[in-house]
């Protein structure tokens, strides 16, 4: 079992999302794409002071 | 034409054409006839008096459950009031005639729907209308109604506009109230109009502006009505190169170039890190969408469209630290892009890499590479909506092409007026137009 499959099994158990084993290949493919794209943000250098975009105004 | 006659004509077109186009999921004929009779009994002059319109079925319509393209939401109680934008359209004299088909929970670029069937492209019934506001594109492109409302999180107004050959406005993020609409991604959701011409697009946009305490994301800026009778001259127009020229078909690029010539574009420019902007929008969409639907994924996973469900479950598993970084990057990309607008008033890019694909098609060929179709239809729209820039999608019919394709006219935040003026100029010059279906 690779890391994505471990994450899917553990994550869906922790979040109490019931999944049919037949759905796993599609979930895995989608997760791989999202994590690959998110990694391209992770590797981009941002200053500590860069505030996230949403601003909450009470 | 009086309101009753206009509404009866629209209802007749819907009765004749909707069985083929599948754009509508509900027709509110009784309500529309009552509204039209009231309008005709009044002497009050209104900008949209008697104009029929319809809304994507994620807008609340009093008395109907708000489906948002899903099976699950059919069990919701009927909405008790209309969405803010419906109220404003009707206050301006427009008449709601129904609710429109859409991709499930707006997580879609195709216009296909496993529960209701696909809305179809009015120019080729074997092709996609585009998503997720597919019914809006199909209904306006097919001439069933002159105006429709939709939503755009990553491209869902601009993609159907492109495939269905109509004008669409995705306003600045926060410009139009989202109150009374079923959400998707709070960080990125926009609502806006579609129309067959720029005049109607502007009338609808002007009617819907204004603050709304019911939507915490809605701007406090006062309404800024647009007048497109001002000439479009003097605008500094630039084509976006780099990322926005990669992977597009010759037709998509030729459409951008035709618009550029007509607007007197100067040297091209680039949006630095556009690919990363698209990646961040993709990440925020997957994760915020998953958060919205988490309980439904737990209790009714089998009732989702499987393609939507599997993307949402994957989104629920993405580490939060990566999402926070995507939101930090959004601030960086906004600041970077505002600097581009120091030397430009209008930026041009394709709406979609290609014209409408065939229904059921699952892959696209971009630059010789075969890629999954669903996520890649929005590669040019996602970086723009990521930072909430206003965009008018304009339809281009190139010589000898059987299908239209759209171009994004992008302006700086809160400058919808400039994008709409440019669109009006293109329409008057005959470069961009809606073509009635035979």
ipTM of the complex: 0.96
Q: Tell me the sheet residues that pair with B243.
A: none
How buried is B217 (Cβ within 10 angstroms: 0-12 exposed, 13-18 middle, 19+ buried)? middle
* Full domain range(s) for residue A21: 3-39
Annotated active-site residue in B129, B156, B162, B177: B156
- At residue B365, the pLDDT reads 86
Tokens of B201: 């697009």
CB contact under 8 A, B310 and A26: yes
How many percent of chain B have pLDDT more than 70? Answer: 100
- At residue B73, the pLDDT reads 98
CB contact under 8 A, A53 and B328: yes
Interface test with B, best of A28, A53, A54 (most B CBs within 10 A): A53
CB contact under 8 A, A37 and B282: yes
Q: Which CATH superfamily is domain B3-208 in?
A: Amidase signature (AS) domain (3.90.1300.10)
- N-to-C CA span, chain A: 47
Helix, strand, coil distribution of chain B in percent, nearest 5: 40, 15, 45
Q: CATH 3.30.1360.20: does it fit domain B237-428? A: no
Query: Could you give the number of structural domains in chain A?
Result: 1
Chain A: closest CA distance from residue B413 (Å)? 15
Number of neighbours of residue B20 by Cβ within 10 angstroms: 12
Mean pLDDT score, B157-162: 98
Structural domain includes residue A46: no
- At residue B190, the pLDDT reads 98
Cβ–Cβ contact B360 with A under 8 A: no
Structural domain includes residue A17: yes
- At residue A56, the pLDDT reads 67
CB contact under 8 A, B331 and A11: no
Chain A: closest CA distance from residue B306 (Å)? 8
Tokens of B95: 């008449």
Annotated active-site residue in B70, B119, B129, B132: B132
Contacts of A23 in chain B (CB under 8 A): 306, 309-310, 313
The torsion region of residue B264 among left (phi > 0), alpha (psi -120 to 50) and beta comes to left
Structural domain includes residue A52: no
> Over 90: is that where the pLDDT of B82 sits?
yes
Cβ–Cβ contact B322 with A under 8 A: yes
pTM over 0.95: yes
Q: Which residues contact B247 (CB under 8 A, 6 or more apart)?
A: B353, B366, B367, B369, B376, B379
Structural domain includes residue A12: yes
- At residue B92, the pLDDT reads 98
For chain B, the domains span 3-208, 237-428
Q: Strand order of the sheet with strand B190-195?
A: B24-27, B95-100, B52-56, B147-152, B190-195, B167-170, B391-396, B405-411, B346-350, B237-239
Strand-pair category, B95-100 with B52-56: parallel
Contacts of B188 in chain A (CB under 8 A): none
CB contact under 8 A, A15 and B187: no
CB contact under 8 A, A27 and B314: yes
> Over 70: is that where the pLDDT of B266 sits?
yes
Contacts of A6 in chain B (CB under 8 A): none
Structural domain includes residue A54: no
Of B294, B310, B325, the CB nearest to A30: B310
Structural domain includes residue A44: no
């Amino acid at each position: 079992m690779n890391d994505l499959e471990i994450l899917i099994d553990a994550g869906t158990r922790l979040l109490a999302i019931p999944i049919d084993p037949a759905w796993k290949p599609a979930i895995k493919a989608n997760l791989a794409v999202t994590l690959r794209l998110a990694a391209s943000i992770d590797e981009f250098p941002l200053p500590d002071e860069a505030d996230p975009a949403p601003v909450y105004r009470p | 034409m009086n309101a009753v006659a206009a509404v009866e004509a629209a209802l007749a077109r819907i009765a004749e054409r909707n069985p083929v186009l599948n754009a509508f999921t509900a027709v509110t004929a009784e309500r529309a006839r009552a509204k039209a009779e009231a309008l005709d009994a009044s002497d009050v002059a209104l900008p949209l008096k008697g104009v029929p319109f319809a809304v994507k079925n994620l807008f609340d319509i009093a008395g109907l459950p708000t489906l948002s393209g899903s099976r699950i939401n059919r069990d919701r109680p009927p909405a008790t009031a209309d969405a803010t934008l419906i109220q404003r359209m009707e206050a301006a004299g427009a008449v709601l005639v129904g609710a429109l088909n859409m991709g499930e929970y707006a997580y879609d670029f195709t216009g296909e729907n496993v529960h209701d069937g696909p809305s179809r492209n009015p120019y080729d019934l074997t092709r996609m209308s585009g998503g997720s506001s597919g019914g809006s594109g199909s209904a306006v492109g097919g001439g069933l109604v002159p105006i429709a409302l939709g939503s755009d999180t990553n491209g869902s107004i601009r993609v159907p506009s492109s495939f269905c050959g109509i004008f669409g406005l995705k306003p600045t993020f926060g410009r139009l109230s989202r109150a009374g609409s079923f959400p998707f991604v709070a960080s990125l959701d926009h609502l806006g109009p579609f129309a067959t011409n720029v005049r109607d697009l502007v009338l609808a946009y002007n009617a819907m502006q204004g603050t709304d305490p019911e939507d915490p994301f809605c701007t406090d800026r006062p309404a800024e009505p647009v007048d497109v009778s001002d000439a479009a001259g003097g605008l500094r127009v630039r084509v976006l190169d780099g990322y926005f020229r990669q992977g597009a078909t010759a037709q998509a690029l030729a459409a951008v170039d035709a618009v550029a010539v007509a607007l007197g574009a100067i040297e091209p420019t680039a949006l630095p890190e556009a690919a990363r902007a698209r990646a961040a929008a993709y990440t925020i969409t997957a994760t915020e969408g998953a958060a919205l639907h988490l309980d439904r994924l737990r209790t009714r996973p089998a009732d989702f469209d499987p393609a939507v469900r599997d993307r949402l479950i994957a989104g629920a598993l993405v580490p939060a630290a990566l999402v926070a970084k995507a939101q930090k990057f959004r601030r960086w990309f906004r600041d970077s892009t505002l600097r581009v607008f120091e030397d430009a008033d209008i930026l041009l890019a394709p709406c979609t890499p290609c014209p409408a694909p065939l229904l059921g098609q699952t892959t696209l060929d971009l630059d010789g590479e075969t890629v999954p179709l669903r996520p890649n239809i929005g590669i040019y729209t996602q970086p723009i909506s990521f930072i909430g820039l206003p965009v008018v999608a304009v339809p281009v019919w190139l010589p000898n092409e059987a299908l239209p394709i759209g171009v994004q006219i992008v302006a700086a935040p809160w400058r919808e007026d400039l994008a709409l003026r440019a669109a009006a100029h293109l329409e008057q010059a005959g470069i961009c137009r809606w073509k009635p279906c035979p």
